[in-house]
Structure 1
Amino acid sequence: MALVSPRKIHADQADIDTPLVRELVDAQFPQWAALPLEPVDSGGMVNAIYRLGSDLSVRLPLRPSTTDEVQREQAKLAALAPFLPVAIPSVEAIGSPTDAFPGEWAVHRWLTGSHPSPDALADPRRLAMDLAAFVDAFRRIDLPDRPPAYPGERRTRAPMDSMDSLTRKAIGELDGLIDTRAALASWEESLAAPYDGREVWVHSDLTPSNLLVSAAGRLTAVLDFESCGVGDPACDLFVVWNLLPASLRDEFRTALDVDDATWLRGRGRVLSQALITLPHFKDTKPAMANTKLHVIREVLAAPR
């Protein structure tokens, strides 16, 4: 992950900078006071991340909360880790709210690797199989606590038609930027795909910014489990269109034994997400907009 200066993402986000994080760490965890601290550009929209020494990172919610979200995340990560074939974050310590930062924050173990890019995959086939193995292992998890994915929003539990009006509105707003006719046809085909309500554990945000790979191209870690929980298994197919080359999609699908309806819902959900968020990024965040455009183009290029 790259080291950069902090940036404002939300109008109402906390003022987080290196001096503040240094003060929090030094006051609450003096054993790490001597470690160097640098901001990290994770590409995320929820947390500010700082690297602390070579083995740790500090994660602060951009919108601090006085609830026990960080503690619940720590418990969830610890419960999930034994079931998964690659490394996931582990919370080493939880920081307390202060006047300067009115919410809990966390110190994580640093995970090595780099974010994959669709046009620069060292070993696409091995990565596709690694991702299929991760999704398969995730689906097989059986824990007594089954929180909904995207708590509060319930996006992965909601039927496809609940996203219909926003998706159609976004398609209209993107006229001239994308093939709106093809987008509408693809969306309507996915919208018609049945769903029997079966729920499994899903990460729900398998985007390149939440994956780490080795120099050889193998999956080494998966990040950001904040929105994971139980939901539609189609939600963990997003990686098919946001990262994998078209030539490997059938292999990925076969490895997971994905039926037609689930495949169509996955395609529709990732298209809807990209369509709805693109208008917010196209004039303000070019890199994020290009990522969404890539997803839309890959979906529309797929045979229907």
Structure 2
Amino acid sequence: MTHPMHPDQVATPPQLVRRLVDEQFPHWADRPLTRIRHAGTDHDVHRLGDDLVVRLPVVAWATDQAELERRWLPVLAPHLPLAVPTHRATGRPDHGYPFTWSVWDWLPGRSVDGRLDDAAADALAGFRDALHAVPTDVAPPRRPHSRGGPLAELDDEVQPAIRRVGDLVDAPRTLALWAEAVQAPRWTDDVWLHGDLLPGNVLADEDRLSAVIDWGCLTTGDPAADLVAGWHLFDGPQRRRFLGDADDAAAARARGWVISQAVIALPYYRDTNPGIVAQSLRALAAVLS
């Protein structure tokens, strides 16, 4: 990015990452290091050789994500039909970089973009259903205001955000759909949630979905929170295929999750992350269509 996305963003130039890796994990010092350009918002990513990736938080609120993934992905992975990241090492703060950082296996494939086909809709729906079926008896408690809770928790933030971005969206229609989502009947049982099934977090390899990455929003809660991919990745027929047997209440809440994420992101990243802005506008247009 040309400008930092966050007021307190920490820089991770390649020379710093090289020094951290070489000193803390000298057995990987001979591996080439390549910065990965992406539209993510909370980590910088550097590929380490052919089969590893270094992830470094760039803002303090993202610092607990790697530990969340390290603890729970081994529990979930055996139940899932698509690959998920495997943790290899944890690095410590040093040389002015203030956060714990991590090394993971590199998963082959490309981040999906655009509208996916029937096979992809079936594959991602199968992944979602498998994740939601994993027992939650040992799951950590949901954090307040995290993904998957009652949308009413976000109402005081979302309504003003919709009005702020009214020049970019149909604000009255968006407010009406948001109100419908907030008022929709509550779900019955909490399930495991990825919490961020957006284009950059779903990988395809040889034209088939292969992996789901970036589990920093992992939690338990409303299954509708994992239906957001329906508007981010699919057009009408494929969206209906992906949504499956979701009832009207779940679909309404899912639209609410799309709206809340998009309208909060738009003003925050408007001048610093064009990828997130474009992604948010596409999803909102799909919700409003």
TM-score normalized by structure 1?
0.88
Distance in 2 of aligned mates of 1:219 and 1:134: 10
Quote the offset at 1:162 in angstroms. 2.2
Q: What is the rounded CA distance, in whole Å, between the counterparts of 1:261 and 1:286 in structure 2?
A: 32
Q: What is the SS of the residue equivalent to 2:228? A: helix
1:46-76, Cα deviation, whole Å (9 max, x unpaired):
1111000000001111135898764443121
Equivalent AA in structure 2 for residue 228 of structure 1 = L
Whether 1:271 and 2:259 are equivalent positions in the alignment is yes
Residue 172 of structure 1: how far off its partner (Å): 1.5
Partner of 1:289: 277
Long gaps (5+) in structure 2: none
- Which residue number in structure 2 is paired with residue 154 of structure 1? 146
| Distance apart, 1:213 and its partner CA | 0.7
| Cα distance in 2 between the residues matched to 1:52 and 1:133 | 31
**Partners of 2:220 and 2:50 in 1: CA distance:** 34
How far, CA to CA, are the matches of 2:65 and 2:78 in structure 1?
21
2:250 to 262, 265, 280: 262
Question: One-letter code of the match for 2:224?
Answer: A
- 2:239 maps to 249
Aligned pairs for 1:33-72 (under 5 A) are: 33-63=29-59, 70-72=66-68
Q: Select between 174-183 and 132-141 the one with higher mean Cα deviation.
A: 174-183
Amino acid at match of 1:171: I
Q: Please tell me whether the aligned partners of residues 36 and 53 of structure 1 are also in contact (alpha carbons under 8 angstroms).
A: yes
Tell me whether 66-75 or 14-23 shows the greater mean CA deviation.
66-75
What per-residue deviation string (whole Å, max 9, x for no partner) do you get for residues 75-114 of structure 1?
2121111111111001111112224323221110000111
CA distance in 1, matches of 2:138, 2:160: 36
Q: 1:169 aligns with which of 121, 139, 160?
A: 160
| CA apart distance, 1:267 | 1.0
CA separation in 1, counterparts of 2:62 and 2:192? 27
1:187-266 pair list within 5 angstroms: 187-216=178-207, 218-254=208-244, 257-266=245-254
Long gaps (5+) in structure 1? none
Which amino acid is the alignment partner of residue 127 of structure 1?
Answer: A
| Amino acid paired to 1:188 | A
Q: Residues of 2 paired with 1:283 and 1:97: CA distance?
A: 30
The match for 2:105 is 109
Match of 1:145 in 2: 138
Contact 2:148 2:221 in 1 (8 A): yes
Taking the aligned partners of 1:208 and 1:259, their CA distance within structure 2 comes to 24
Pairs aligned (count): 289
Indicate which of 15, 18, 26 corresponds to 1:30. 26
2-structure distance, mates of 1:205, 1:63: 18
Residue pairs, 1:70-85, within 5 angstroms: 70-85=66-81
Identity of aligned residues (%): 38
- Structure-2 residue corresponding to 1:131: 124
- Distance (whole Å) between structure 1 residues aligned to residue 36 and residue 84 of structure 2: 18
Structure number with the bigger relative contact order (C-alpha 8 A, sep ≥ 6) is 2
